[in-house]
Amino acid sequence: MMKELLLPFGLENAPVLPIEAAATLAEHFNARATATFYPRVPDPVIVDPMSPGVVSYEGVGEELEAQKAQAREAYEKRLGDAAKDFPGGGISLDVNSLSSWHQVAQLSRIYDMTLVPRSASFPDWQMVFEATLFEGGRPVMLIPDNWSGKCGEQVAIGWNRSTETARLVGQTLDVMRAAKVVHVIEVPGWHTAGPDGAGLARYLERHGIDAKLHMAPESPNGAGYQVLEQCGELGADLLLKGAYTQSRLTQMIFGGATKQILQEAQLPVVFAH
């Protein structure tokens, strides 16, 4: 069951903390959300090339406390009136568990899902997202800039038969059971060896999920774009996608479905690797 949601944030992305998406998941699954702050402070020990030994930065403790105070203020401003009637198990603030964004992935291992906003005001979103995706071992939801509304009633799966997508299917069965319908989307030529979409649809139906199969039409566009086009046509409000079936380096150089969806999705997307 999906009971614990992690919302990591720094001072730069507190204004886009994904409260709406967290509230939707909390309502569906009676889940609890934790907004966890990661500070940015100088290393307390600095090497000085002009003198022997090291120089200690003694103000790090005060800087950390100042940032925590700013985080509390930013969190309360972002949450607003939602704090009173946040659904499920509610939402809380944690300013003590993390000392940098590098630790988000480690903490995410004891949460059912981590929610990361994709925003122009948050230039480090991809670093936080990828670190959590590769090192956390749990699903990561990416919420696009300026998105609002509900998610999870019309779910789509970009099915390419891969290990990564199969793992995500297993991790999100509760999400799909709570949906009105799940759309299994295939793209011609976009798959590894493995069961086709009809096989996945049968599997989901055995779990009590209303699954419908869709084959995207032939198109010169990349698979990621085709999946997103299908999501738009079907009215999907949440996409499930296995991430980086090709290596991350290959996708960076040549592109790929994951890169296309990361950059272009206008609906929340849950990824797993």
Domain with CATH 3.40.50.620 in the chain: 4-144, 154-272
- Termini Cα distance of the chain: 20
Task: State whether CATH 2.60.40.420 applies to domain 154-272.
Answer: no
Q: In the Cβ-directed half-sphere of 205, how many Cα atoms lie within 13 Å?
A: 11
Strand ranges inside 52-162, DSSP E: 54-56, 91-94, 113-118, 140-144, 154-158
pLDDT by residue for the chain (273 residues), tens digit each? 899 999 999 999 999 999 999 999 999 999 999 999 999 876 655 555 555 555 555 667 889 999 999 999 999 999 988 878 899 999 999 999 999 999 999 999 999 999 999 998 888 899 999 999 999 999 999 999 989 888 999 999 999 999 999 999 999 999 999 999 999 999 998 999 999 999 999 999 999 999 999 999 888 889 999 999 999 999 999 999 999 865 454 444 434 899 999 999 999 999 998
Report d(CA 205, CA 186) in Å as an integer.
17
| 3-class state of residue 135 by DSSP | helix
Spell out a b/e string for 97-135, using b for 16 or more CB atoms within 10 Å of the CB, else e.
ebeebeebbebbeebbbbbbbbbeebeebeebbbbbbee
Kindly calculate the radius of gyration of the chain based on its CA atoms and give it in whole angstroms.
Answer: 20
Report d(CA 99, CA 37) in Å as an integer.
9
Mention the CATH class of domain 4-144.
alpha beta
Q: At what angle do helices 197-206 and 163-171 cross, to 10 degrees?
A: 20
- Are 55 and 48 in contact, with CB atoms under 8 Å apart? yes
